[in-house]
Every structure is written in C-alpha cells, then in structure tokens.
Amino acid sequence: MDFDIAVIGAGPAGSTLARLISEKFNVVVLDKRDLNSTASTNFPQGKNCGGLLAPDAQKMLAKFGLGLPSKILAEPQLFSVKAIDLGTGLKCHYQRHYINIDRQKLDAWLLSLTLGKIQYESNSFYLSHSDSSEYCEVSYRKGGKVKKIRVKAVVGADGANSAVRRITFPSKSLRRYLSVQEWHETGEATPYFSSIFDSQITDFYSWTIPKNGYLILGSALKNPSDIFSKFRVLKEKLRKHGFVFRENFAVRGCYLERPMNVSELAFAKGRTALVGEAGGFISPSSAEGLSYAFWSALNLAKSLENGISGFSERYIKNSKNISLNIAGKIVKSPFMFNSFLRKAIMKSKLNSIEVLETET
C-alpha cells in the first residue's frame, strides 16, 4: 500500500478529516488546486463561496478546540440578514450571528493545520478509482502525467459535482444548481447579508454580501442557459431597492447541491466514503455547507477510530444525525420558499428587528 487513506479534495471537509485521522493513519490528500499558493487573496479566488461562517459552523470549530485567526476575517462583520421578497416588495431584518470571512484564507488555514502530519499533493486532478475487497487504486493527473496509488480506503471530499460520488454512487442524483456570484467593487457598504426571493429568478434564492470593499451579488440558478438575462433582471429589480452595481465586475460560477430528500445523501460503500458537499451534506434551505463539511468529517473520523475494517457501516450508522438534521431543514423549507407562507411570516414581522437607517 502507498497510503492507508487517500482523501480527494482539500476543502474544509477534506482538510478537517485529514487532520482528525492523521495520528492514526498514513494519509495523502489530493487537490486539483494549490492551496499553499501565496497569491493575494483579496479578490474572488479559491472556492466560489459567500464566506459566511454560520453559528453551526462556529460550534463545530469550537468542538475541535479551534478559534479563528484574525487574518481570515473579512470586512464588515454583519449582525443581520435582510430578507427581500421581490414579488411582494416585503422586507424584514433578522438578527443573525455570522462571521464574514475570506474563504480562500479559511481553506488555506485549515490545510495548514495538517502540516507535517499528512502528505498534501497539490495540482493533482483525481480521475477515478477502483474499489476491491482488498484495496483501492486511485488514478490522478499531475504535471501532465497520470499517476496511480494503492490505498486501503478512499474519501471523496471533492465538493459539489463530486467525481468520487459519480463513480461510487452512479445512480444517486442530487438537485443541482449553478451558483453564480458577481463581485462589484463598491464604496457603499451594505452592512448586512441579504437573502432575496423571486420566483422569476429562481426557486431557491439570491443574495448580496459585502466583503472587503466588494458587494457580492449571488444567485443559485436551475437553468444554466439563461444566467445573463436572470442577472440582468435581478439587478434591475434590486436597483429599485437602492442597491448599487457596477458595469465592470468579476464573475464566478460553480455547482451547488441541494438535497430535496434524505435518500439523495450518500455516505459510504465498500472502501469509499464521502464527506462534505460530495455526500450532499448541505442545508437545502440556506445552502450553508461549512458546518456539514466539519460535521461529516468528524463523523467519519469517529468511524475510523477502530480501524478501516468495517468503517463504512459505522460511518453510515454514525451519520443518522446528519440525515435527521437535513430532513428537518427540508421540512422547514416551505416556510422560506413557498410564497404564500413566506408572505404571511414576513407580514407578521415575527422575530424581525426594526432597522432605523441604512435603508438600502
């Protein structure tokens, strides 16, 4: 064997798992990116993400005994979410406790915690793996060459549109969105995260997040063919609500999974397991995924405490808490995404806060 465990993907799920199991196993982490790149990270680099660390994700870091280095923080810090229903024109502010972060720096920091404990292979593009009763053989491309390694187990931590998932669970599909974010350089800070609902744009939601001198405008779209017209309409509508967008902006897109049924979640089969968004572990109501990346990594690490033999079965058993949590979010979703229920809630002003100024 070349290694005990190959982790595919050095995002929050992969790095966290690697760190948690590094004492017991000989681990290699492959990533198509180079997270150690020292290029400036002020502007949209790294994973296309809103970079809001929700309380559940903060709680997971606390469970790991970790605090957040200040270099990861972005400006401004936010204390509320503004829900905007473009259909009814209703707006409400709710108190929220997110931490606004630089996502690229978070990923680099999480990986740095594994330094010297695992083997990290950057610029390594996972191609496929075979899973037999005795071992797995992983093929990946690095520096123009196809390499092969033999390991006792493979973990897919390769995020949305996971190739490891496609190979291991070819018939398990997830509802998939193309999530696009425009970065507008702007002096006008909107000191809140806004979640924007409009059935003309998407059946999920759109958002704005201020970050380090930029206003991010994002949306999760079902049909990739009409992105430009959807964004044009969205911006026209939001300008009427006072938002300022520039003519020149950077744009990034990537897939986003949205589990609509717990049967779509995939945990493990044979010698292969999935963590993070690769398994479909992400909130179907808010698209918050960092807490699930950490949580699933912890569940898998616990399942590996007694060795590799039988770890898949233990992981599936240990992950009932995640299935139950996501099932709860699926049940809750209509209160956000059914226009009638949302209108009733927003009109009631239940749990909302009155905001006196910065009325964008």
**Interacting residues with ligand FAD (CB under 6 A):** 8-14, 30-33, 47-52, 54, 57, 125-126, 157-159, 163, 179, 181, 218, 254, 256, 276-278, 282, 287-290, 293
Residue closer to ligand FAD by CB (options 66, 90) is 66
Tokens of 148: 């092969």
Residue 220 forms beta bridges with which residues? 179
The dihedral over CA atoms of 338, 181, 141, 19, expressed in degrees to the nearest 10, equals: -70
- Least distance in angstroms from the C-beta of 172 to ligand FAD: 16
| Nearest-approach distance from CB 193 to ligand FAD, in angstroms | 8
Which residues are 216's β-sheet partners? 183, 209
Where residue 349 falls (left for φ over 0; alpha for ψ -120 to 50; beta otherwise) is left
Comparing CB distances to ligand FAD, the nearer of 54 and 322 is 54
Minimum distance from CB of 56 to ligand FAD (Å)? Answer: 8
Residue nearest ligand FAD (C-beta atom): 289
**Integer CA distances (angstroms), 223 to 66, 242, 306, 346, in order:** 39, 27, 45, 28
Which helix (H) or strand (E) segment is 198 a member of?
Answer: none
Indicate the residue among 181 and 312 with the shorter CB distance to ligand FAD. 181
Closest CB to ligand FAD among 61 and 346? Answer: 61
Shortest Cβ distance from residue 275 to ligand FAD (Å)? 6
Residue 90 vs 203, nearer CB to ligand FAD? 203
What's the rounded Cα separation, in Å, for the pair 61 and 282? 17
Compute the least distance from the CB of residue 281 to ligand FAD, in Å. 7
Burial of 331 (C-beta count, 10 Å sphere; 0-12/13-18/19+): exposed
How far apart are CB 188 and ligand FAD at their closest, in Å?
Answer: 21
The whole-angstrom separation of Cα 90 and Cα 264 is 34
SS3 breakdown of the chain: % helix, strand, coil, rounded to 5?
30, 30, 40
> In the complex with ligand FAD, which residue's Cβ is closer, 224 or 343?
224
Read off the tokens for 183: 């970065």
Q: How far is CA 97 from CA 53, 169, 252, in A?
A: 9, 36, 26
Q: What is the b/e burial string over 222-234, where b = at least 16 CB atoms within 10 angstroms of the residue's CB?
A: eeeeeeeebbeeb
Distance in angstroms (rounded) separating the CA atoms of residues 170 and 52 = 32
- Under 8 Å between Cβ of 290 and 10: no
CA dihedral angle for residue 69, residue 70, residue 76, residue 80, rounded to 10 degrees: 40
The token pair at 12 is 């929050």
Residue closer to ligand FAD by CB (options 102, 288) is 288
Shortest distance, CB of residue 270 to ligand FAD, whole angstroms?
20
Closest approach, Cβ 238 to ligand FAD, in A, equals: 17
Beta carbon of residue 158, minimum distance to ligand FAD (angstroms, whole number) = 4
CB nearer ligand FAD, residue 275 or residue 304: 275
Nearer to ligand FAD, 155 or 346 (CB): 155
- Tokens 């079965």 — which residue? 313
